[in-house]
Structure 1
C-alpha cells in the first residue's frame, strides 16, 4: 500500500546524506513511524551500525517494531526489535531498535559515544515529554562533542520548526509531508454528571454506529474506563466485536486491534491515548472521544510523578478527530459540550515536572550549568534548584552539583532518586528485598484506593500472582540487587521510608498534630491509630506547605532515626523569632531539621544563627512594603521579561528565596526584626546588581521621563510586577508635539500614558498616542475646552507647543 511518506523518502535520505540532522514534519496518516526507519537502514552511513527509534509510549514501541518486522517477513528480535524498561526483544542481528525514551538516556549515560549506533530518530516529538527533551539535549551534546557522524532525525505531526532550528542549527533540512485525510463531521454530546458514565458512553456509541459506516475507535483515558465500557457493551450489544488497545495487552492482541476483522465484522476498538497519534487503527471511520487524557504530573504529596486524568487539550482533540478521516469521510463524536473551553496545547513536561530526576541525570553527565546543553525548552531555574536541593539532602550531590559516592552507587537503580537512595542504603538495614517490594508498590498502580501502606504491602507479598505488575517490577529490582524477593518482616519499613523522605519525618506536637522535619505542619485525624505516635514518616501528603494532611504514614522509633542520620546526635544552636515576645528565642537542640529529639539552654547567640533566624522570620512576614523597593522591582522585572535572563528575577518570591545573598551580608550586629525592616532595602538590592547591568539600568528603565513641555515626570513601574507596562501620569497639554508614545526597554515597550485634565483628573489612557491624537483627542477637545477655557486645546495637537502652564500666555 502506498503512503504519503513514500514520496518523501528520497528527500529524507538525501538530507541525512549531507547533514547530520534533519526535521520531518509529517501529518497524521503519512506513515512516517514505520516507513522512514526501514528506508534509513539502507543509507550508506547506516552500514555496519544500527538505528534507534524513540517512541513516547510502550504500546507504540511494541506495535511499531511488530509491524516493521512483519513488513520484512521476520519476527520481532531479528532485524527489528524493541527495548524498554524491564522488557526487551533484540538479538545479535538487530539493526533497528525501537526504544522508549528513557532507554536512550540510560544508553547515553552508560556509553556517551553510542558505539555501534549510526542514527537516532525521535518520533512524535511534539508530545514533549521530559525524557524526550533530555534525550535530545544529551544526544546533541554527544553528537557535537564525540560523534559528529551520528545522524539525528526529529519527526512529528506538528513541530515548532523555528524553535527546533534554533536548537539543531539553521542549516538543518526540513522535510514536509502531507497526511492522507478525508472530511470529518464533528458532533458534541455532553455527558451528565448525575448519570452513569459508561451507560451514557455506550448510548452515544451505539447511536453513532447507526449514523456512520466503518469501524469505531473509542478513546478513553485508561484501562479501568475501557473495562467499564466493555462490560456495559457486553450487556447492551453482545453481538458487537469489541477489542481493547492499551499497554497491558500482549503484543499479539495489540496488533490484532489494529487490523480489520478477518471475518469482515464491524469492530469497536477501545483505546487509550496511544491511538491518538502513534498508531493507525485500520478501518476506522468513527471516533468517540471521551475528552480526557492521563498525563504524568508531579505530585508533591507523594514526591513522585504519577498519572493524572485531565481534560484533553485542543491539539490532541484535533489529532483524535483526524483518526476518523484516515481512510474515508468520517464522524467524530466528542463527549463534552461544544462550549467547553480547551487549552490550545499541552505544556512541555519539563515546565511542570519534578526535576530531581533531571538534576540527577545532569550530574551523571557531568553538567553543572544546564545552559551548557541545547534545550528546546530550558529547565525552569526554580524547579531545577528545588530538585538539586533535594538531591543534596539525600546525599546524592555535593555543593558543586556533582555526584557523591552514594550518587554514583545509585545510578544502577532505574527509579526516582529518592527511591534509589532507599534501595542503595537498604543493605545496611538488611532489608533490600523489602526495599524492592516497597519501591515497586510506591511506583506502581492501584495504591490510590489503599490507605494503609503496611496492609497493601502484606497483601502483595501474600498473593503476588494477584498483583502481577507489582510482582514483575519487584522481581526486576531484586535481580538488579542480586537478592531473592523473600520478605520475612516489615519491621524496617519506617526506616526505609525515612531514607527516601527525610524531610517528611514528623514529630507529634499534640494528638493528630505534627511538625515535619522540613519545618511545615501536618495533621492526622485524632481517631487515626498513628495520631499519638511520637514520630512517624509521612509517605504521602496533600502537598500543602503548611497544615498538610497526612494520607499514608508509618510510625518511627526515635533511636532508629538517630541510627539513620548521625547529625541527629550533634547539638546545634536554634533560634526563632517570637512574635509573641518580640525577640529572638534561642536554645541548643539535636534532631533532624525541625524535628527536635532533645534540647538544652543556649549560653549565647551565635551571629550566624541570629542572621539565619532573622531572615527566616522575614520570609514568613514577607518584604516590608515600600514604594522605592516596589519601583526597583518593577523596573528590573520589565527588563527581565523583555531583554532576557541576564536581568535577575526580583519578584517577591525570588527575593525571599535569596535573602542570604543580597541581604544577609548587611545584618551584622542586628538582632531585631524591626531594625531589619528599617534598612534601605532598595539600595541594598541595587548594590547587589552586577555593575555592567547597573550602568544600563537608568537608560533602559529610566526613573523619570522628559516630556515635550520641558518638565520630567516619574514613571510608575509597579504595574510591571503584574506583566503590565509602566505608567506615566501627565497633563495632556504637556504632551502636545509628541508624535508617538514614548518607549522604554530599548524601544520594546510603549509607556502607558494616563493623560490628565488641567485639574489632574483622568481624561484618557493610551499606549498609542498617535492613534489617540487622530481619533480620541477631537472628542476630548470638544468636551474639555468649554470646561477649561483658559487652557490650550489646539485643533492639531501634534504640531502645537506643549506647556505646563495653567493659563494661556497673554
Structure 2
C-alpha cells in the first residue's frame, strides 16, 4: 500500500481520541485522511465495542471511499466496511465502519438519540459547511453531552479552527497534516467580459494543454457552461476525449469520468464543484478554474430559491489548484486577474438555504430554541421563522413549534417536509401510490423541467425501465407506505401539489402565462405552455424574484378542489393591500386563499391596525426603499457580523423585512402612503434598535469615513459588504503616498479595498494589498500616468513621498 502523508499523523490522532472525546484534523488535499484515518481507528480500545460512522457530503464520494477501504482490506463492500445512503445500503452483520451520507446521520440520530452501538463519528470534508453537516454536528454534540464515551472527529482540508474550537471547546486537540502534492505552477488569465466566454476558455485551455502534459480538469459553475465549452472543444480539438462530471449524471458516467481513458487518449473533464474535493480524477495534471460557483440561495421573503453565480472563495480556489498536483507536477490556470481579491471562506449553507427541513428536525429533536444546541453558525432568525411558518401552514408544527400528530407521522418519510405532508394527506385523497410516484419525480435532478408534471409522470409510468432511478425511489416510498405502486388515475395530481405547496397555488391574471401566487408574488409561464390559460395552477418549482418568478413545473387545479382542501376559502375576510396601479391602499372583503381571490366585495372602513399591516406587507413585497444611509448602515452591520460574530444583528434585506413589525411598525401611526414611509429616517430607526454597547462601538469599528495620509477624510462604501465583499475606499493615488499598508477596519480583521484614482478621478488600480502595489504595479502606473498628468507628483518611492490632493505647484 502506498505511503501517504496522513500515516505519520495517525499515532497523534489515535492518542488525541484516546484522551479526549473530540478532535480536529486539518489535512491538506491528497493527505489520505478519508480512507486511512477511519481504518486506523477501528482497533482503538474505545472503538472495539462499536461501529464507526464516516460522514461524506456526496453519494459518489461515499461509494468510492467505501469501495477503496474494502479493497484495501481484501474484502467486498458490506463486510468490515459498508455504506448507507437514502434508498441504498451495503452493510452486513459484521460491518464496523459505515460510510454514510449526511441525511442518513440525521435520521440515525433522530431514531436513536444515544446512537447505541456507535463508538465514534468522523465528519469528512467539513469545510463544505453543508446544512446537514452543521445540523449533524450540533445533534451529535448534544448526544455526546449524555454519552461521554462517544468520540467525534472533524476532518477537513481547510477549517476555520477558531470557530470550531468555540463549539467543541478550547481544549480540543488540533492535528495538522500536509498533503502529498507535487509543485503546481499557478497562472492567471483574465477573460474579456465583452466577448463570449466559451471560445476564450477553449483557447486558454488548448494553449495550456500544449505546455502541460496529462489530462485536464476544468471547473465551471454549472451544467450550461459545461455544455457550451464541450461544443466549443468538439469543433476545435476533436482528438480530445471530452467528458462531463456533475450531479445530474448517472453513477456509472461519474465513475468513468474519474478514470483515465482506456485507450490512453488525452482527456478533458468538464466538472462542476463536485470535483473540488472528496474525489480524485486520475491522470489530471492541468486544472483550469473559471473562478465561479453556482449556489442556491433561499429568500425567506418570497419563499423562493434563486441560483446565484458567485466568485469562488480563496479556500475553494486553493482546493481546486491542489487537484493539479495530486499525481505529478502540474499547472493551474485561473481565469481571473491575479490582483482580484477573494473572500477567505465560502458562506455556510445554513445562511442561505431553505430552513424548513432544519426547523422540522429541531422539532423532532424536541428543541424550540435553537440556541440550546452548539452551532458553528447559528441558523438565521428570518429564514428559520419562514421555515417554521411553512411547517405550521402544512399542519406539521403547532403554535409553540412542537410537532403535531401529522408532524410525528410525517417523520417516517425521508424527504422534504412539504413532500412528507403530501404523502401523509394522500391517504384522505385515496392517492397514496400516486403520491409516491410524484415525490420520486419531484426529487429528480434535471429531466423534463420545461414540461408539465402530468406529461412527465405519464411517461415514467408508461416506461418505468427508461427511468430506473425514479422507479427505485418510487418503489421504496411505496414499500414504506405498505401499498403497491399501482397508479389508477392522475386526477388528484393538483390536489396533492396544493397540499405540499399551498403558497404556490397561483391564479391567472389578465394575460396568459401571468399568475399571482397565494403568497402574493408574481410568476410567469410562456404563452405557449399548456397551462398558460389555466385559471388556477400549483407550481412545484419556481426560481427567481418574488416580483417575477418563473414557473418550471406545475399542474392545473380546479376551484372546487381548492375549496375542498382549504375550507377557509369559503369565508369572507377583510383585506387591505397597496395598489401600485392606483397608488393607494385598497380595502375589500375577499374569499380565497392568501392572494388568490375567488370572490370580492367592497370594504367600507379601513381599521388602523389593518392599514399598518398592509403597508408592511407592501414593503415586504416591494423590498426596502432605496435609501443610501440605510444601505451603508446595513453594510457596516453585515461586515461586523461577518468578522466579529453574531452579537451584531443580521442586516440582510430578508432579515429586515422579516422584522419590520419590531423596528418600523411603531413609527407608522397616521401614515397611509408608501411615499411617507420612504421619507422616514430609516437608518436612524434601525440604529435605535441596537443595544447601547454595540451602538457605542459602531463608529469605532466601522467608521463612515477614514483619514488618509493627505489629511482628508473620505467616505467608505460599505454596500459591497452586503454581498460578502470588502468595504471600498475610493481615493486619489497621490493622497495615499506614505501609506505602507492598506487600511483595515473591524478591529483590524477586515481589509479595505482601495480604488486608487487618477487626478481626474478615473480608476487606476483596485487593491486590498497596497504594499504589493507600491512594490510592483505602481511602477507601470507611474510610467503611463506621469506624462498624462505632469502637474501631479509621481515619485519613484511612494512610501516616503508626501501625500497630497493638490498639484505640484500648489
CA distance in 1, matches of 2:506, 2:427: 24
Match of 2:520 in 1: 519
1:565-608 Cα distance to aligned partner (Å, 9 max, x none): 12112221223456887875433222101112223454655554
Say if 1:105 and 1:342 are closer, same or farther in 2 by CA, change over 3 A: farther
Match of 1:89 in 2: 90
Q: Does 1:286 align with 2:264?
A: no
Q: Does 1:441 align with 2:441?
A: yes
Aligned-partner SS, 2:428: helix
The 5-angstrom pairing of residues 63-462 of structure 1 reads 63-144=64-145, 146-186=146-186, 212=212, 268=267, 270=269, 272=271, 273-280=273-280, 284=283, 286-289=285-288, 291=290, 297-298=296-297, 313-332=313-332, 336=335, 343-344=342-343, 345-447=345-447, 450-462=450-462
Do the aligned residues in 2 keep the contact of 1:27 with 1:158 (CA within 8 Å)? yes
1:84-135 Cα distance to aligned partner (Å, 9 max, x none): 1111100010000011122111111111101110001111111222211111
Q: Does 1:54 align with 2:50?
A: no
CA distance in 2, matches of 1:295, 1:87: 28
1:225-275 Cα distance to aligned partner (Å, 9 max, x none): 989999999999999999987778998997887778999x57748474555
Match of 1:8 in 2: 9
* TM-score using structure 2 length: 0.75
User: More deviation in 615-624 or 428-437?
Assistant: 615-624
Could you tell me how far 1:16 is from its partner in structure 2?
0.5
Aligned-partner SS, 2:71: helix
Could you tell me how far 1:506 is from its partner in structure 2?
1.9
Q: Does 1:492 align with 2:492?
A: yes
CA distance in 2, matches of 1:300, 1:486: 37
Do the aligned residues in 1 keep the contact of 2:397 with 2:404 (CA within 8 Å)? yes
* TM-score using structure 1 length: 0.75
CA distance in 1, matches of 2:675, 2:804: 55
Aligned-partner SS, 1:429: coil
Aligned-partner SS, 1:418: helix
Aligned-partner SS, 2:540: strand
1:140-175 Cα distance to aligned partner (Å, 9 max, x none): 12112x211111111112222222111211111111
1:277-320 Cα distance to aligned partner (Å, 9 max, x none): 324455x3623436478755246799787988877555434333
Aligned-partner SS, 1:467: helix
Question: Tell me, which stretches of 5 or more residues in structure 1 are unaligned?
Answer: 706-714, 728-742, 750-773, 785-810
CA distance in 1, matches of 2:523, 2:231: 42
Could you tell me how far 1:484 is from its partner in structure 2?
2.1
CA distance in 2, matches of 1:386, 1:69: 44
CA distance in 1, matches of 2:367, 2:442: 29
From the CA coordinates, give the structure whose radius of gyration is larger.
1
CA distance in 2, matches of 1:464, 1:3: 45
Do the aligned residues in 2 keep the contact of 1:219 with 1:287 (CA within 8 Å)? no
1:670-691 Cα distance to aligned partner (Å, 9 max, x none): 585599869998899699859x
Say if 1:353 and 1:779 are closer, same or farther in 2 by CA, change over 3 A: closer
Q: Does 1:613 align with 2:614?
A: yes
Match of 1:22 in 2: 23
1:347-380 Cα distance to aligned partner (Å, 9 max, x none): 3222222222222222222222222222222222
Say if 1:402 and 1:329 are closer, same or farther in 2 by CA, change over 3 A: same
Aligned-partner SS, 1:588: strand
Say if 1:296 and 1:96 are closer, same or farther in 2 by CA, change over 3 A: farther
Do the aligned residues in 2 keep the contact of 1:587 with 1:599 (CA within 8 Å)? yes
CA distance in 2, matches of 1:777, 1:187: 35
Match of 2:763 in 1: none
Could you tell me how far 1:407 is from its partner in structure 2?
2.0
1:16-71 Cα distance to aligned partner (Å, 9 max, x none): 11001111111222211111111101111002101001111112111111111112
User: More deviation in 269-278 or 475-484?
Assistant: 269-278
Say if 1:309 and 1:74 are closer, same or farther in 2 by CA, change over 3 A: farther
User: More deviation in 434-443 or 603-612?
Assistant: 603-612
Say if 1:657 and 1:225 are closer, same or farther in 2 by CA, change over 3 A: closer
Aligned-partner SS, 1:589: strand
1:608-628 Cα distance to aligned partner (Å, 9 max, x none): 434433544566788899999
CA distance in 1, matches of 2:58, 2:468: 20
The alignment yields a C-alpha RMSD, in angstroms, of 5.2
Q: Aligned pair count?
A: 729
CA distance in 2, matches of 1:574, 1:318: 54
Could you tell me how far 1:443 is from its partner in structure 2?
2.0
Q: Does 1:39 align with 2:43?
A: no
Say if 1:699 and 1:213 are closer, same or farther in 2 by CA, change over 3 A: closer
Match of 1:482 in 2: 482
Do the aligned residues in 2 keep the contact of 1:212 with 1:331 (CA within 8 Å)? yes
Aligned-partner SS, 1:359: helix
